[in-house]
Amino acid sequence: MDHVANYPVLRKLGEGATSEVFLCNDPFRGREVAVKRIFPEALRDPVRGRLFRKLFFAEAALAGKLDHPHIAQIFDAAIGEDSGYIVMEYVPGGTMERYCVPENLLPVAQVLEIAFKSARALAFAHSKDVTHRDIKPGNILYAAEPTDVRIGDFGLAINLGSQTTQVTGVGSPAYMSPEQIRDEVVDHRTDLYSLGVVMYQMLSGHLPYRGTNKFSIMYQITQSEPPPPSTYRREVPPALDRIVRRAMQKDAASRYQSADALAEELIEALRAGAGEAPREDFGDADKFVALRSMRFFGAFADPELWEVVAMGAWERVSAGTAVVHEGENGDFFCVVIEGEMHVSKNKKLLSVLGAGECFGEMAYLSLSGHERSATVTAARDSHVLRVKVSELAKSSADCRSKFDRAFIGILVERLNLANTRLTSG
C-alpha cells in the first residue's frame, strides 16, 4: 500500500484483528505519523460491524481534545461506508509490555515515575469526562526512553458527558475492573483499577491473577485477593504494596477516588526513597510536583508545566557559587527550587531569594539582550531550574503566555516593594 488517504506510507508498523497501522509521512506538516487503517471487512461484518464503527467513532471524536504531553495525540480521522482511518502521533520507542517480564523489569523508581505520569494523563482525560477503559501495558507507549510515556488507543473510551450508550463487555480481561467484568456502568475509577494492575505487573513481572482461560481470570478478579507485588520482588517497599492494593480494590468506592489522588501518593512514595534515587537526580515526576507546589507556576496548566520540565535544566549549585555575574550578558533565567540565593550589586546584598522565586528574567523580557545588573550567588547548597531564552521561544504560546504573566506579577511586586520603601523612608 502506497498511501492511506493523503498520507504516503513509509512502512507497516503492525496489525490487529480489525485494523493495521502504518508509519506515514504527513505532507501538510512535514512530520512522521502513525495511521491506523480499519479493515473494510471489519466495518462490513454483519454481526460486529456496528460495534467496530462505534469504537472507531469514539476514538476519532477525541481528535484535538486530549492535548496532553503524556497522551498520544490524534490529529485527523475519517470514516466512510467501508473504510476509515485515524492519524495519530508516532511514538517510536515501543510499549511497556517488554518491561512486564521478570527478566526485564525496570528499576522501582522508574516504574513509579511511569505510573505517576500515566495517572496525571488520566486525570487530564477524566477532567474532560473521558474514561479510557482499556489501560494495559500495550497501551502505554514510550518515546526516547521508558519514562517518556504516552497513553494511547482511546478506541474503547467513553465520554461520560455525552448521551451515547456505553459499549459493555469490552477491554482486556486481565486488566478489567470487577465492574467491567460484571458489565456494570463504569466511571473513571475503572481506569485506576487497570493502572493498578499495570503497576503490579511492572513491579513484579507477574499478573495479579493467572488462569488457564479468561473465565478463570475473570472469576478471580471478582472473587480473589492477589499476593502483594513484593512477594515476587523484595525491593518493592510496603508503601507501594499499599498503593497497588488500594488502586485494585474490588469496590470502586474503596479505591482512590481520582487519578490525582493516586498520583499524589505515588510521588510521596518516590520522595520517601522508593528505588533509592539520589536527591541530585531529580526524575521528571519529582520535578513536576516541585514546580506545581510553587506560586510562580500556579497559573500553569499541566501540559504547560510538563513543557517547563522538558525545557529546563535542573542544576545543583554549591554554596558560594555565582550563577549570574553583574555586567555579563545573559541568555537564561532561573527559578530557585531549593535553598537560598543572595542577590548583590557592587558586593552589597540587595535581597535574598528562596524556593519559588526567580532571577535573571530580564534576559527574556528585554528585546535586545540584557546585561546582568547584579550577581546572584548560592548562600548554601541549592537547586535551581535554568531555562534558556531560546528554549522558551520554542515552547507553546500558552506556555510563554503563562511565563509572561508570572514575570509581570513579579515585576509589579518588586515595584510596589520599592515604592513602599521610598514612602516609609
67: alpha, beta or left, given left = phi > 0 and alpha = psi -120 to 50? beta
Q: Are 234 and 314 found together in one domain?
A: no
**pLDDT given for residue 273 in this prediction:** 63
CATH number at residue 393: 2.60.120.10
Residue 288 lies inside a defined structural domain of this protein = no
Q: How far apart are alpha carbons 176 and 378 in whole angstroms? A: 51
Picking from 249, 327, 314, 317, the residue whose alpha carbon sits closest to that of residue 285 is 314
Q: Are 256 and 342 found together in one domain?
A: no
**pLDDT given for residue 253 in this prediction:** 97
Phi/psi of residue 384, nearest 5 degrees: -130, 155
pLDDT tens for each residue of the chain, 425 residues long: 899 989 999 999 888 777 889 999 999 889 999 998 988 888 888 877 777 777 777 777 776 788 888 999 888 888 877 788 889 899 999 899 999 999 999 999 899 989 999 999 999 999 999 999 899 999 999 998 898 999 988 765 555 444 333 344 455 789 999 999 999 989 999 999 999 999 999 999 999 998 888 899 999 999 999 999 999 999 999 999 999 999 999 999 999 999 999 998 998 887 676 544 444 456 788 888 889 889 899 999 888 999 999 999 999 999 999 999 999 988 999 999 999 999 999 989 999 999 999 999 888 887 555 789 899 999 999 999 999 999 998 898 889 999 988 988 887 777 776 666 666 65
Q: How far apart are alpha carbons 100 and 229 in whole angstroms? A: 12
Residue 285 lies inside a defined structural domain of this protein = no
List the grid coordinates of 6.
493523503
Q: Are 225 and 136 found together in one domain?
A: yes
Q: Are 124 and 83 found together in one domain?
A: no
Q: Are 36 and 185 found together in one domain?
A: no
Residue 84 lies inside a defined structural domain of this protein = yes
Q: Are 103 and 171 found together in one domain?
A: yes
Q: How far is CA 298 from CA 293, 396, 413, in A?
A: 8, 17, 16
**pLDDT given for residue 171 in this prediction:** 54
Strand partners, 378: 341
**pLDDT given for residue 367 in this prediction:** 59
Helical pair 108-127 and 259-271, crossing angle rounded to 10 deg? 160
Answer yes or no: are the C-beta atoms of 109 and 274 closer than 8 Å: yes
Active site residue 134: yes
Q: Are 79 and 106 found together in one domain?
A: no
List the grid coordinates of 289.
510536583
**pLDDT given for residue 392 in this prediction:** 93
Q: How far apart are alpha carbons 114 and 285 in whole angstroms? A: 8
Residue 295 lies inside a defined structural domain of this protein = no
Domain final residue, candidates 70, 89, 108: 89
Domain final residue, candidates 69, 89, 109: 89
Q: Are 19 and 147 found together in one domain?
A: no
Q: Are 147 and 248 found together in one domain?
A: yes
Q: Are 185 and 207 found together in one domain?
A: yes
CA 108 to chain centre: 18
211: alpha, beta or left, given left = phi > 0 and alpha = psi -120 to 50? beta
Residue 291 lies inside a defined structural domain of this protein = no
Q: Are 80 and 56 found together in one domain?
A: yes
Q: Are 169 and 266 found together in one domain?
A: yes
Catalytic residue, from 76, 134, 153, 286: name it.
134
Domain final residue, candidates 242, 260, 277: 277
Residue 181 lies inside a defined structural domain of this protein = yes
Answer yes or no: are the C-beta atoms of 19 and 25 closer than 8 Å: no
Residue 218 neighbours by CB distance under 10 Å: 19
CATH number at residue 174: 1.10.510.10
Containing structural domain, residue 50: 3-89
CATH number at residue 21: 3.30.200.20
Residue 282 lies inside a defined structural domain of this protein = no
Residue 287 lies inside a defined structural domain of this protein = no
Helical pair 397-424 and 302-311, crossing angle rounded to 10 deg? 90
Helical pair 284-292 and 259-271, crossing angle rounded to 10 deg? 110
**pLDDT given for residue 278 in this prediction:** 44
**How many structural domains comprise the chain?**
3
**pLDDT given for residue 267 in this prediction:** 81
